[in-house]
Amino acid sequence: MAFLKPKIPLECTSFMKLKYHIKTYGCQMNYSDTERVMTVLEKMGYEPVNHYEKADLVILNTCMVKKSSESRIYGLGEPFKKLKEQNPRLKIGITGCMIHKDTGLRGESKEKVFQRMESVDFVFRIKDLMHLPDMLHKMHHMDGADEVSEMKSYFHINPKITNLTQVFIPIMSGCNNFCSYCIVPYSRGRNESRDIAEIMDEVEKMAKRGATEVNFVGQNVNTYDPTDADTGSSDSPFTQLLRKVDAVPGIRRIRFYTVHPQDMGDDVIALYGGLKSMVPHLHLPIQSGSNSCLKRMNRHYSVERFKELINKLRARIPTISISTDIITGFCGETEEEFMGSLNLIKDCKIDLVYVSKYSQRDGTLAARSMKDDVPYEVKKERFEQVTEAMKEVSEEYLKQFVGQTVEVLVEKVEKGYASGKIPEFKLCRFKADNPKLVGQYVNVKVDKAMEWCLEGEPV
Ligand code: SF4
């Protein structure tokens, strides 16, 4: 549910054009959710602005994966207090992973948020987005968006598309896995999947408007479980969805985040090199290269299983790019366990690692039952070792493209360069200053591989 702080003064503002600003933290799922929040606000008559200071409504779409994100959000308490003195109309709302269902589970309850950040006026779980218009009506007397309030789930709210070429579409929300360090099952609740028909409708509409790259987002896309999948098929529902999207005219690239090594099926692997739009890149989060550490993390697979998946993927596409997540210094992580992670990066040639130093999240199993006992300096040192190992693999991986022609989907043009991703999710740039290149596919002959980026000439 959504919660308003008691005694919010009512203001008669229906005659004014009020301005909103949303700050998004964390993963692509949050960015995709923000696009839905924008739709609701703009249906109600709010106008977007690019900074808090110009806004009458600020919404923070939060992430709890890293302690630093949480601290940054609480750090905004004082500045917001001052802004409110200058603009009495200003209301502050929080959504995202910081907000839990008030179930009695430990964690960042609404009371705690209100207590630690006095300037916050309301909080809502993203899945209760349909109730946001009612709350805003009480605070700002804004009307409109009746159709939003009547919708049965936030998935039914069309996103405001900020990037017409590359679209992010949530296919599910929540997670049933309860990894011991993770807050998501408490903040987003259990798995909830959108029907295939509804997703296809969104994809087709986007493709007609110019989308060519579809990014599916969900906490564990391999457990996608809609009500309208073909139960007689040997393909999993996720594979059924991927096949349908591949057939949509105009769609050239499909990416998805995130898969889980425990649930990744052979039917999905078989699509690599099979479906024309499956990109040769997979993000497969391992978190630790040690089976004993994985056990404490409540991740139900082994390092051997992870390696087997990679071998199967490379048997289909030898040059596939594999990225992963690693946490350094998880509760009780020994030097030997850490070496498992470090060696895994080198042995499996993981060319991109999203590495984070473990920090305890209130409300998780690890916070309740394990000691955060690896000193910060050790976590940091291990973090740096992982980064170094990844750099070496990445540089080696990028070198293979020198002399080859790659297809770049241009994302930005600035400082004399156009840049964007190749199908393998690597950045490539070339000299250009025409902003109209954004959203275009350009073939580039690579003449240089730098640390994190390729460079070449259009051909
Ligand atoms: S799979 Fe684990 S880490 Fe990922 S969202 Fe679910 S509980 Fe969190």
Q: What is the 3-state secondary structure (H, E, C) of the chain?
A: CEEECCCCCCCCCCCCCCEEEEEECCCHHHHHHHHHHHHHHHHCCCEECCCHHHCCEEEEEECCCCHHHHHHHHCCHHHHHHHHHHCCCCEEEEEECCCCCCCCCCCCCHHHHHHHCCCCCEEECHHHHHHHHHHHHHHHCCCCCHHHHCCCCHHHCCCCCCCCCEEEEECEECCCCCCCCCCHHHHCCCCEECCHHHHHHHHHHHHHHCCCEEEEECCCHHHCCCCCCCCCCCCCHHHHHHHHHHCCCCCCEEEEECCCCCCCCHHHHCCCCCCCCECCEEECCCECCCHHHHHHCCCCCCHHHHHHHHHHHHHHCCCCEEEEEEEECCCCCCHHHHHHHHHHHHHCCCCEEEEEECCCCCCCHHHHHCCCCCCHHHHHHHHHHHHHHHHHHHHHHHHCCCCCEEEEEEEEEECCEEEEECCCCCEEEEECCCHHHCCCEEEEEEEEECCCEEEEEEC
Amino acid 139: pLDDT: 78
Kindly give the distance from the C-alpha atom of residue 24 to the centroid of ligand 1, in angstroms, as a whole number: 20
Amino acid 447: pLDDT: 97
Distance CA 35, CA 24 (A): 10
Residue nearest to atom 1 of ligand 1 (CA): 177
CATH topology of domain 154-399: pyruvate-formate lyase- activating enzyme (3.80.30)
Does the beta carbon of 219 sit less than 6 angstroms from any atom of ligand 1?
yes
| The pair of three-digit structure tokens given for residue 251, joined into one six-digit string | 């769609």
Ramachandran class of 104: left when φ > 0, alpha when ψ lies in -120 to 50, beta otherwise: left
Q: In this structure, are residues 342 and 386 in contact, taking their beta carbons and an 8 Å threshold?
A: yes
Amino acid 128: pLDDT: 81
CATH for 405-458 (3.20.20.70, 2.40.50.140, 3.40.50.460, 3.30.720.110): 2.40.50.140
Amino acid 14: pLDDT: 47
Q: Which residues partner with 418 through β-bridges?
A: 413, 430
The predicted-structure confidence for 236-259, as pLDDT tens digits, reads as follows 999 999 999 999 999 999 999 889
Amino acid 204: pLDDT: 95
Please name which of 61, 127, 129 lies closest in space to residue 94, comparing C-alpha atoms.
Answer: 61
Amino acid 211: pLDDT: 93
Does the beta carbon of 178 sit less than 6 angstroms from any atom of ligand 1?
yes
Class of domain 2-149: alpha beta
The predicted-structure confidence for 333-381, as pLDDT tens digits, reads as follows 999 999 999 999 999 999 999 999 999 887 889 999 999 999 999 999 9
The predicted-structure confidence for 436-457, as pLDDT tens digits, reads as follows 999 999 999 999 999 889 999 9
Residue nearest to atom 4 of ligand 1 (CA): 219
pTM recorded for the entire structure:
0.81
What are the Cα distances from residue 232, in Å, to 195, 228, 270, 275? 17, 12, 19, 21
Distance CA 229, CA 244 (A): 12
Does the beta carbon of 184 sit less than 6 angstroms from any atom of ligand 1?
yes
pLDDT along the chain (459 residues), means of 10: 47 64 86 88 89 90 73 85 90 83 48 79 84 81 62 70 82 90 83 94 93 93 95 95 97 94 95 96 97 97 97 97 97 98 97 93 89 97 97 96 97 95 97 94 96 94
Amino acid 107: pLDDT: 44
Amino acid 96: pLDDT: 84
Does the beta carbon of 176 sit less than 6 angstroms from any atom of ligand 1?
no
Maximum CA extent, the chain: 66
Amino acid 67: pLDDT: 64
Does the beta carbon of 175 sit less than 6 angstroms from any atom of ligand 1?
yes
Does the beta carbon of 145 sit less than 6 angstroms from any atom of ligand 1?
no
Q: What percent of the chain has pLDDT over 70?
A: 89
- Substitution candidate for ligand 1 out of 100, 176, 177 with most atoms within 8 A of CB: 177
Sketch the domain layout of the chain as residue ranges: 2-149, 154-399, 405-458
